[in-house]
Amino acid sequence: MKPDTEHTSTRNAELFERAQRVIPGGVNSPVRAFRAVGGTPRFITRAQGPAFWDADGRRYLDYIGSWGPMILGHGHPAVLEAVQKAATDGFSFGAPTEREIELAEAIIAQVPSLEMVRLVSSGTEAAMSAIRLARGATGRSKFIKFEGCYHGHADALLVKAGSGLATFGNPTSAGVPPEVVQHTLVLEYNNIEQLEEAFALHGPELACVMIEPIAGNMNFVRASVPFMRRCRELCNEHGALLVFDEVMTGFRVALGGAQSVYAREIPDFQPDLTVLGKVIGGGMPLAAFGGPRKLMQQMAPLGPVYQAGTLSGNPVATACGLATLQLISQNGFFDDLSRKTRKLVDGLVAAARAEGVPFSADCEGGMFGFFLFDALPQNYAQVMKTDGARFNALFHGLLDRGVYIAPALYEAGFVSAAHTDADIETTVQAAREVFRTLS
């Protein structure tokens, strides 16, 4: 792939101009606007396998995969066929369908902590509903989240840490009244001492601890095994629920999600509630939350916790999700995906080392992250030590060479089954060229 720094993206620029007249910032989700990295967002026209094309006809190897869902790559024939058939049969009925049962069964079959799930349309909705359920089931209001973890944009979750452990959070968005986040306690990720202190202060009032077990919204940071073990113990001791937000990691880092990764290290480990999205919809708007029967029976219409959705369990979305889950549940799927992702990460580390660029990277299953410094970070403050200007140079250098990674340094990356070994090698070579310009 040739560097293309001279390339002027005329059609992309025109579309961006036009978009900004009718859509705030020209985008329907902020990170797409390239604000962090500068430049003109690429307007995508079509995708196939591991790649997509922009409005100027340029091809990019896609390491975002719609922020995770496209684990099979784009346009997998079996998924396409399932979606086309479902669309022909009807877009939406507002009445139950057999496919919702099939999808619920397919999800539950892979995740031992789940006995029941409720299907919804976005991760935001699923996370918000899981918090409501945790509060409803425990009769408590307060909950813990961690700095750098993203759980969607429900009001109570748009919060940053207050001034101390005794005070609760402050809103991170205009339009969120302080009273709405007064029950949200924000702690540092992987900080056991702080977690213990918080439980000592607020234990009897805590409904739940919500966590991204492998955080993908601060690039890629694993909760340490001791930290996770302590989360579980403290929740048990104090009658709080442990809620895993696996919207990103579910069916992405392993078939059983990040919880199956921790269960290898911690005997009998399970969260109480799990939030899913992204991969389970295969690129369609679909998400879910679930847990043991006794908790899920608290949901309407069985129990007192209200939750509903006009398009929940949508027939086309469930067809897409089901076809996706069937394919990724086949023997060896995750072995191969993990091998390719590992190959990418090892290749990037070696290329950076060869060019004398400080670099670290990690991956699990088909999800990866990298940092422009040597040691892997443990929390958000450490992630934020990345040199933004250097990251932007890397981002644009790769983009110019036809490799599309997330346009912000606090996002994870994703490999799909459609990425070939040759695609990975091309990517590593492109990165090496860019590293040379950075060193």
Q: Applying CB under 6 A, does 150 fall inside the site for ligand PLP?
A: yes
Query: Least distance (Å) from ligand PLP to the CB of residue 287?
Result: 6
CB of 380 to ligand PLP, least distance (A): 14
Distances (CA, A) of 12 to 6, 8, 40, 42, 382: 15, 9, 7, 6, 35
- Asked about 245 being catalytic, the answer comes back as yes
Among the residue ranges 209-217, 218-226, 294-302, 418-426, the one whose residues contact ligand PLP (CB under 6 A): 209-217
Query: Shortest gap between Cβ of 381 and ligand PLP (angstroms)?
Result: 19
Which residue, 49 or 277, has its beta carbon nearer to ligand PLP? Answer: 277
The CA distances from residue 142 to 64, 161, 235, 293, 373, in Å, are 34, 14, 13, 23, 36
CB under 6 A: which stretch of 150-158, 325-333, 373-381, 401-409 binds ligand PLP? 150-158
Give the span between the Cα atoms of 286 and 278, in whole angstroms.
Answer: 7
* Cα 402 to Cα 52: distance, rounded to the nearest angstrom: 10
Which residues in the 91-130 window bind ligand PLP by CB under 6 A? 122-124, 127
Q: Does 247 bind ligand PLP (CB under 6 A)?
A: yes
Structure-token pair, residue 14: 């025109």
Footprint (CB under 6 A) of ligand PLP, residues 20-39:
none
Alpha carbon distance 375, 235 (integer Å): 30
Residue 219 binds ligand PLP, judged by CB under 6 A = no
Give the range of 78-86, 147-155, 302-310, 339-347 binding ligand PLP by CB under 6 A: 147-155
Residue number with the shortest CB distance to ligand PLP? 123
Question: Is 271 a binder of ligand PLP (CB under 6 A)?
Answer: no
| Residues 189, 148: Cα–Cα separation, whole Å | 8
Does residue 150 carry a catalytic annotation? yes
324 binds ligand PLP (CB under 6 A): no
Distance spanning both ends of the chain, measured CA to CA: 21
Contact call for residues 374 and 358 (beta carbons, < 8 A): yes
CA 52/CA 201 separation, integer angstroms: 51
Residue 359 neighbours by CB distance under 10 Å: 21
Give the nearer residue to ligand PLP in terms of CB position, either 213 or 402.
Answer: 213
Question: Pairing state of beta strands 287-291 and 116-120?
Answer: antiparallel
- Cα distances (Å, whole numbers) of residue 234 to 195, 204, 414: 9, 11, 33
- Of 60, 63, 150, 410, the catalytic one is 150
Catalytic residue among 56, 62, 245, 400: 245
**Using CA atoms, how far apart are residues 133 and 120, in angstroms rounded to an integer?**
14
Annotated active-site residue 278? The verdict is yes
Q: Is 366 in the site for ligand PLP (CB under 6 A)?
A: no
How many residues bind ligand PLP (CB under 6 A)? The answer is 15
Quote the least distance from Cβ 285 to ligand PLP, whole Å: 7
Tell me which of 26, 216, 256, 321 binds ligand PLP, using CB under 6 A.
216
Comparison of 73 and 152: residue with beta carbon closer to ligand PLP:
152
Q: Does 291 bind ligand PLP (CB under 6 A)?
A: no
- Distances from the Cα of 61 to the Cαs of 72, 242, 413, in angstroms? 14, 37, 12
Phi, psi dihedrals of residue 6, rounded to the nearest 5°:
-80, -15
Q: Does 147 bind ligand PLP (CB under 6 A)?
A: no
How far apart CA 163 and CA 72 sit, in angstroms, is 44
Binding site for ligand PLP (CB under 6 A): 122-124, 127, 150-152, 212, 216-217, 245, 247-248, 277, 287
Name the residues annotated as catalytic: 150, 245, 278
